[in-house]
Amino acid sequence: MPGIIINGVEIEFDEDGFMIVPDLWNEDVARALAASEGITELTDDHWKIINYLRDYFKQYHIAPMVRKLCKETGCSLKYIYDLFPSGPAKGACKLAGLPKPTGCV
Amino acid sequence: MPEYKGMVQPVRATLEEMRKIHIEPVPDELKPEKAIEYLDQIRKKFRSFVMAMESCTKCGQCAENCHTYLGTRDPNNIPTNRAELIRKIYKRYFTLEGRWFGKLVGAEDISLDVIEQWYSYFYQCSQCRRCAHVCPFGIDTCEVTFIGRQLLHWLGITPKLHASVGAAMERVGNHTNLPKPGIVDTLEFMSEEIMDEFGVEVEFPVDKPDSDIMYIPSSADFLLNPYTLMGAGMFFTYIGANWTIPSTVTEAGNFGLLFDQYWTQRGNVMRLLNAAQELGIKKIVWGECGHGWRAAKMYIPSLADRPVRWPIVHIHDEIANMIRNKELKLDPSKNSKPVTLHDPCNYVRACGLNENMRTIIRAVTTDFREMTPHGMDNFCCGGGSAILFDDPEMYQRRILLSQKKAEQVRATGVGKNGDGILCAPCSICKAQLYPMVEEHELGVEVKGLVDLVGKALVWK
Amino acid sequence: MKLLIGQILPYITVTLFTLGILYRLGRWAGARIIHNITLSPWLQTNGQVAVRIGSEAFLFRNLFRFDLALWAGAFLMHFALLNVLGGHIVGFGFLGEQFALIPGLGISPELSKEMSNLLGTTFGILLFLCLLYLLIRRLTLTKVKQVTKPSDNLWLIYLLVLVGVGDIMRLFEQSFGVEYQLVRDYIVALALFKPVVGMELLNNGFFLVHFLLVQILLIVFPFSKLMHLFGMFAERWIVNRVYKDPAPGLPNVDVAAARAAGIGLPSDAAEEGV
């Protein structure tokens, strides 16, 4: 996925569409990424999850356990898949500007 | 998309990513020549590799016994043909028959195309060793793909997934980049969850000095497998153990085994031994991870840079032993859904966990049904050796590679009512099977074995 | 030409065969068993290892378990081959009278010769048929076709010719057979570096071809896939060996005491339980 220019800043992505420099994240980046994931509109529930992921990542430098994400946001895993068709790791984390999860995930 | 002359290939690590794991990629025009040089170095060391190169008679028995071939029907995915991708080069440069008779015996000159073939097919091999198990000679194709992947790594060709895991291992000591605050927070969350669901108080001590037992969980448990983590915590609490989880090496796996045994794998071994020494522990207990358990049990003795003073056992070994000694009070009716066991390849063909897993599952479930074949004859889940690639072509391959497993699960009938349990006590198996049971619509939920133990414990 | 094949080549053959095999075995021994890659469930004693390696090497255990059709062809082929080779040694060595030498059976030398002939012919034909079966298998079964190199088929054809010529000498003994005594004297003379006798054997075209093919086979043997004879044992010794698990048991763990103390139970619940 080629880089795009948002608000005058060039944002680069890796082959899987994850941000190479997560610090450059802003809401417009999330919207651009949503379009690439086939999500037409970011609803309040989308933002709730994105913001939770960002806050957690800021504090712990890692994405939360999926179970914790569900519990803290009150969204079932199935609902998260409805919101982000690629799932919590490859969909929601991507939109929140988190790095791509590695390992056996 | 990653494809080379019609061959599927996983996404590669970039130059920077390779440098992070201490590899300076060889320029393309030098790759063939360097490949021969590295192959010549390594072939003289490993007898398992020499024998695989020099004693196959091409009887063809491995073909129908390889889930990769069964799923793809690609002739290069027949184990002996997969090995032939290196063997043809080995013959050409290092044997008399190859030098004299060339094509007649299947020898071939090295070229960039051959190296690209290696990359495609060695990363479709799950290194499950079923071919070694069925081969009349015991030829282990896994040894060939280990060395093939090592050569590729030295040339600078490594999947992004494996390279990023290698970098994470060096940075924080686990595959998923979990730093200590994240570890502690997740474990506290686990304690709360256990209290909510089971009504017991379980603490997960991290880096506790003077512990007796060091428990090594899979880092994937911290993201995806809560019940495996909870089950282990409940077990250690139940038996009153003085235990701890080390934050410097919160990882049962070791991807080094799968692409770089010389540096990445060794590095993680030293990290583990350092942690054991610093925490003053007496015994190391391993969590649910197939390749990682093989790497720990069978490779630490030959990779360690000092005497290993701590016995290393698997949590299943200890649980099974306690069940045999009737020390645990278990209520199998807590797991009354139909359940079948997927044997992780490394457990049953490399680590001898066969009987112990069955001792446990029979004690903690009421409706256990064996797959056919099972135990040491079992087929891989299709994700073995962490070929958990998620770019579209490779993901399609994963579906094909898990086809045999899907047939096996279906035949047990556990998912007929949509409420079955597929017990797969290995993080790679779990990561592969979570999406695959959906793709194949198997009607089962994927669980670890410790998960089921945790649920069945009777506390009073 | 006959001088070359009958008197010079045999020495070259034996030398190359021996040195070649030593070279290959040395090459294998030079590489080490670095990591323990033994297959589980593990064998617990060296006796079990001997039984496992023996049953793989002599009974083809794995072929039997996973591919009965291949097992039938491969096992019978090797079994017949073993008997044919053994038959050559004792048949020529004792001129067909070997069975008469077994005490207590009361077999006459004449009967022994007949038995020797019958067994030799049977195994010779069986060997030929099995080789043919294996060749047809290579040419027809998709999965085997896909792994076969030209040399694999050529070896089978080579052996078919070699065995076929031998079978002709057996089946049409009157016309094409050889006299055992002559062969024995010829071989003994060669082996003892004595002046050669029995060179007239080589006037028999079938014998000449058979003998030449055997020698070429022996020369190529150490550098070919036929080394799987030794490879079997070398490879098995890597994957089938004794391994013992460390003893189970966790340090300072007393489950009964822990349960009596109610560890893990919340304080209020623990009281309830008491």
Question: For residues B416 and B443, is the Cβ–Cβ distance under 8 A?
Answer: yes
Task: Per-residue pLDDT tens, chain B, 460 aa: give them.
Answer: 467 888 999 999 999 999 999 999 999 999 999 999 999 999 999 999 999 999 999 999 999 999 999 999 999 999 999 999 999 999 999 999 999 999 999 999 999 999 999 999 999 999 999 999 999 999 999 999 999 999 999 999 999 999 999 999 999 999 999 999 999 999 999 999 999 999 999 999 999 999 999 999 999 999 999 999 999 999 999 999 999 999 999 999 999 999 999 999 999 999 999 999 999 999 999 999 999 999 999 999 999 999 999 999 999 999 999 999 999 999 999 999 999 999 999 999 999 999 999 999 999 999 999 999 999 999 999 999 999 999 889 999 999 999 999 999 999 999 999 999 999 999 999 999 999 999 999 999 999 999 999 999 999 8
User: How many angstroms separate the Cα of B99 from the Cα of each of B88, B103, B108, B110, B114?
Assistant: 11, 9, 9, 13, 18
Q: Do chains A and C touch (3 or more CB pairs under 8 A)?
A: no
The token pair at B356 is 């112990």
Instruction: Name the band, by pLDDT with cuts 50, 70 and 90, for residue A7.
Output: confident
pLDDT (0 to 100) of residue A6: 87
Mutate to test the interface with A, among B223, B249, B427, B446 (most CBs of A within 10 A): B223
pLDDT in tens, A75-97: 999 999 999 999 999 899 999 99
Is C34 an 8 Å CB contact of chain B? Answer: yes
Domain membership of residue C141 (yes or no) is: yes
Question: For residues B443 and B436, is the Cβ–Cβ distance under 8 A?
Answer: no
Start-to-end C-alpha separation, chain B? 57
CA distance, residue B315 to nearest chain C CA (Å): 10
Judge residue B90's burial from the number of C-beta atoms within 10 Å of its C-beta, 0-12 exposed, 13-18 middle, 19 or more buried.
buried
3-state secondary structure labels for all residues of A51-82: HHHHHHHHHHCCCCCHHHHHHHHCCCHHHHHH
Inter-chain touch B164–A90, beta carbons under 8 Å: no
Residues of A in contact with B289 (CB under 8 A): 104
Question: For residues B172 and B234, is the Cβ–Cβ distance under 8 A?
Answer: no
Inter-chain touch B282–C265, beta carbons under 8 Å: no
Strand B312-314 and strand B368-369: pairing?
unpaired
Least confident of A20-29, B12-21, C82-91, C206-215: A20-29
For residue C155, the enclosing domain spans 2-29+49-243
The token pair at C186 is 């010829």
Q: Does A104 qualify as catalytic in the annotation? A: yes
Domain CATH for A44 = 1.10.10.370
Residues of C in contact with B285 (CB under 8 A): 250
Beta bridge partners of B215: B285
What is the gyration radius of the CA atoms in chain B, in angstroms? 22
pLDDT (0 to 100) of residue A79: 96
Closest CA to B253 of B194, B168, B189, B317: B168
> Percent of chain C having pLDDT more than 90?
89
The token pair at B401 is 């590679």
Composition of chain A by helix, strand, coil, percent to 5 = 50, 10, 40
Judge residue B392's burial from the number of C-beta atoms within 10 Å of its C-beta, 0-12 exposed, 13-18 middle, 19 or more buried.
exposed
The token pair at C7 is 């008197």
Question: For residues B346 and B380, is the Cβ–Cβ distance under 8 A?
Answer: no
Is B244 an 8 Å CB contact of chain A? Answer: no
Is B206 an 8 Å CB contact of chain A? Answer: no
B395-400: which pairs have CB atoms within 8 A and are 24 or more residues apart?
B397/B8, B397/B72, B397/B124, B398/B432, B398/B435, B398/B436, B399/B436, B399/B439, B399/B440, B400/B71, B400/B72
Question: For residues B220 and A103, is the Cβ–Cβ distance under 8 A?
Answer: yes
Q: Is CATH 2.30.30 the right assignment for the domain spanning B24-157?
A: no
Average pLDDT of the residues in C37-41:
96
pLDDT (0 to 100) of residue B23: 98
CA distance, residue A65 to nearest chain B CA (Å): 4
Tell me: ipTM over 0.90. yes
The token pair at B44 is 């003289």
Instruction: Name the band, by pLDDT with cuts 50, 70 and 90, for residue C274.
Output: very low
Helix (H) or strand (E) holding B445: strand B444-447
Residues of C in contact with B348 (CB under 8 A): 40-41
Mutate to test the interface with B, among C61, C227, C250 (most CBs of B within 10 A): C250
Question: For residues B425 and B288, is the Cβ–Cβ distance under 8 A?
Answer: yes
pLDDT (0 to 100) of residue A1: 59
In chain C, how many domains are there?
1
Inter-chain touch B460–C269, beta carbons under 8 Å: yes
Average pLDDT of the residues in C115-138:
97
pLDDT (0 to 100) of residue C2: 83
A-to-B residue pairs, Cβ atoms closer than 8 angstroms: 78
Domain membership of residue C262 (yes or no) is: no
CA distance, residue C205 to nearest chain B CA (Å): 29
Beta bridge partners of A10: A5
In chain A, how many domains are there?
1
Q: Give the Cα separation of B148 and C209 in Å (integer).
A: 44
pLDDT in tens, B184-215: 999 999 999 999 999 999 999 999 999 999 99
Q: How many residues does chain C have?
A: 274
For residue A90, the enclosing domain spans 1-105
The token pair at C217 is 């086979």
Domain membership of residue C44 (yes or no) is: no
CATH number, span B169-324 = 1.20.1050
Beta bridge partners of C68: none
Start-to-end C-alpha separation, chain A? 22
The token pair at B33 is 């020549």
Q: Give the Cα separation of A8 and C188 in Å (integer).
A: 96
Question: For residues A56 and A64, is the Cβ–Cβ distance under 8 A?
Answer: yes
Residues of A in contact with B181 (CB under 8 A): 59-61
CA distance, residue A33 to nearest chain B CA (Å): 17
Closest CA to B201 of B233, B153, B168: B233
Mean of per-residue pLDDT scores for chain C: 94
Start-to-end C-alpha separation, chain C? 102
In the block, tokens 């391994």 appear at C243
One-letter identity of residue B402: S
Question: For residues B366 and B333, is the Cβ–Cβ distance under 8 A?
Answer: yes
CB within 8 A of B199, min separation 6: which ones? C266, C269
Inter-chain touch C245–B317, beta carbons under 8 Å: yes
How far does Cα B220 stand from its chain's mean position?
12
Is B172 an 8 Å CB contact of chain A? Answer: no
Reduced to 3 states (helix: H, G, I; strand: E, B; else coil), residue B256 is: helix
Inter-chain touch B97–C245, beta carbons under 8 Å: no
Inter-chain touch C265–B460, beta carbons under 8 Å: yes
Instruction: Name the band, by pLDDT with cuts 50, 70 and 90, for residue C199.
Output: confident
pLDDT at A31 over 80: yes
Domain membership of residue C264 (yes or no) is: no
Q: Give the Cα separation of A88 and A95 in Å (integer).
A: 10
Inter-chain touch B298–C37, beta carbons under 8 Å: yes
Instruction: Give all strands (DSSP E) within B191-315, no chain letters.
Output: 213-216, 243-244, 283-286, 312-314
Closest CA to C235 of B51, B424, B291, B221: B51
pLDDT (0 to 100) of residue C272: 52
Instruction: Locate the domains of chain B by residue range.
Output: 24-157, 169-324, 332-456
Inter-chain touch B376–C39, beta carbons under 8 Å: yes
CB within 8 A of C238, min separation 6: which ones? B47, B48, B51, B138, B140, C33, C37, C38
Closest CA to B211 of C6, C47, C252: C252
Q: Give the Cα separation of B430 and B433 in Å (integer).
A: 5
Rounded to the nearest 5°, which phi and psi values hold at B447?
-135, 160
CA trace torsion B251, B252, B256, B259 (10° rounding): -120
Helix axes C109-140, C150-171, angle to 10 degrees: 150
Question: For residues B251 and B218, is the Cβ–Cβ distance under 8 A?
Answer: yes
Domain CATH for C103 = 1.20.950.20
What is the gyration radius of the CA atoms in chain C, in angstroms? 29
Q: Quote the pTM value.
A: 0.95
